[in-house]
Amino acid sequence: MNFIVFPGQGSQKIGMGKMLSENFPEAKEVFDEVNDALNLNLTKIMWEGSDNEISLTINAQPALMACGVAAFRVLSKLKDKNLNQLADFTAGHSLGEYTAMTVAQVFSLKECSVLLRLRGEAMQQAVPVGKGAMAALIGASINQTIEIIEKAQIHGICDIGNDNADGQIVISGDAKAIENAIEIAKNKGVKRAILLPVSAPFHCRLMQPAREIMQEALNNLKFDAPLIPIVSNITALPHTDPSTLRKNLIDQVTGTVRWRETMNFAKNKEVKKITELGSGKVLTGIAKRMIKDITNESFENPEDFDIFL
């Protein structure tokens, strides 16, 4: 069994996708279509902008999606295979789930571009700057983390934002609660507890205003059945029912990204190969640490496809 995955926010960087666009017409078509859908020269920001510009949530989300879809279309063309011939399951980390749904033909590239621009804007505006925060707990177990956030919640909301891998958990919520959780984690002997440089506290209850905006937008969009099952961030299980896929994207805004359990699902299904498409190699890195005897490959630049060919 094979698994195709798409990265989330944090994997963005200046220049991503530029070489793909210059070397493969399939990729260029993707970037041109995203620019047109947004009525914005997003690729100019991606390729000539500053780190600050590309890291803005409203830019990073559609940009990362465009890179993932472009890489997929190049791979599909070179292999002369459709998604259901390339993989048995697909998934994406946070916004990457939108990328997965786009390549699985749940909705169009144009529709996804508009959705992610809206999602980025809604998530950024949901919490005033400085009120929220996120922190990484390195070396903490899920049970340890639950104990930590239960104590920290006397200072405000403190949720598990991303359960990324064994010993790699991100917490999200009110800034005071997150700062308190960092101190509690250090006293509990957690290897490292680090405040993350993010613009908003994603995947926690503070994102409720963004959830309501996305609920309205997603309810007004037609969802088709995917070409292959999509393993949801919110359930860590595969789904094909359009109404369930819609609900998963709505719940995902305030819910935990259960990536550790997604990799455990892949392990239990005896997935033999995980392919990461788009910017970076974060997800294949997690897969290597969590699943023995699995083949990992990532496609981001033309040379990655040269090696494959």
Active site residues: 94, 203
Angle between helices 208-219 and 242-252 (to 10 degrees): 160
Q: What angle do CA 254, 17, 14 make, to 5 degrees?
A: 75
| Residue 216, C-beta contacts closer than 8 angstroms, at least 6 positions apart | none
Phi (first) and psi of residue 11, to 5 degrees: -90, 0
d(CA 277, CA 267): 20
Report the alpha-carbon distance of residue 2 to residue 271 in Å, rounded.
Answer: 6
CA 48 to chain centre: 23
CB 276 within 8 A of CB 298: yes
